[in-house]
Chains A and B, each alone.
Chain A
Amino acid sequence: AQSVTQPDIHITVSEGASLELRCNYSYGATPYLFWYVQSPGQGLQLLLKYFSGDTLVQGIKGFEAEFKRSQSSFNLRKPSVHWSDAAEYFCAVVEGGSYIPTFGRGTSLIVHP
């Protein structure tokens, strides 16, 4: 069964600093991978997705993620964090033949001014 691990429960960065949120998955074949963001009081919003092809994918709000098959990882990055990026971030994986995603437990991003 597929599983997703987000090893960091909380991440604190200063505004303007770079960011990397980690996501590791467990699945035999190449899965479909997603990052979502959840602002307080809101539902989840898709940031980016990876299905195949170029392993570096660009998303909204200046985010990008890189798929590394050898490490079973799909880490989310942003070169310069803005205060408005403070939110909860979820990594999700869907295995081929299913439309049921498995979500990680989330990483809470705190941005200091």
Chain B
Amino acid sequence: NAGVTQTPKFQVLKTGQSMTLQCAQDMNHNSMYWYRQDPGMGLRLIYYSASEGTTDKGEVPNGYNVSRLNKREFSLRLESAAPSQTSVYFCASSEGRQGIWNQPQHFGDGTRLSIL
């Protein structure tokens, strides 16, 4: 049981380059999330997808775009990378849906992204 799989695990980019972080879950979860984790800041929500076909902005969406490709996959794209986007990115999923609000999240192991 793989759970939540993120690729790549590590990436180094130059300022201005673009890239897409991939996330897939095999738990048939409805909701998926992208977070960034920076020292002393905890987890900050970038975007989320409550269900297949929908996406919404979180706390820090600027500079990012997302695609909920299907129920399994939720990708995060940096169109023009900036040094401020150096961070560890986590994808998560949960069963949460209308009427079932209290399900915990399952996390991937993260993508460590450095932008020079």
Binding site for B on A (CB under 8 A): 9, 32, 34, 36, 41-46, 49, 51, 90, 94, 96-101, 103-106
A-B contact count (CB 8 A): 53
Q: Tell me how far the C-beta of A67 lies from the nearest C-beta in chain B, rounded to whole angstroms.
A: 14
Residue of B with least CB distance to A98: B101
Known A-B contacts: A46-B104, A97-B101. Give 16 more (CB < 8 A). Answer: A9-B40, A32-B102, A41-B109, A42-B109, A42-B110, A43-B4, A43-B92, A44-B43, A44-B107, A46-B106, A90-B43, A96-B101, A99-B31, A99-B97, A105-B40, A106-B42
Contact between A43 and B42 (Cβ–Cβ < 8 Å)?
A: no
Residues in chain A near residue B34, CB distance under 8 A: none
Using known A-B contacts A90-B42, A99-B50, A105-B41, determine if residue A43 contacts B108 with beta carbons closer than 8 Å: yes
Q: Which residues of A contact B102 (CB under 8 A)?
A: 32, 49, 51, 94
Contacts of A90 in B (CB 8 A): 42-43
Residues of B within 8 Å of A, CB-based: how many? 25
Beta-carbon contacts of B91-116 to A below 8 Å, as 1s and 0s? 01010110001111111111000000
Q: Report the Cα distance A104→B108, complex, angstroms.
A: 19
Residues on the A chain within 8 Å of B74, using CB: none
CB distance from A92 to the nearest CB of B (A): 8
A contact face: mostly helix, strand, loop, or mixed: loop
Q: Given A43-B90, A105-B40, verify A32-B101 contact (CB < 8 Å).
A: yes
Closest 4 CB pairs of A and B: A99-B96, A43-B107, A105-B42, A32-B102
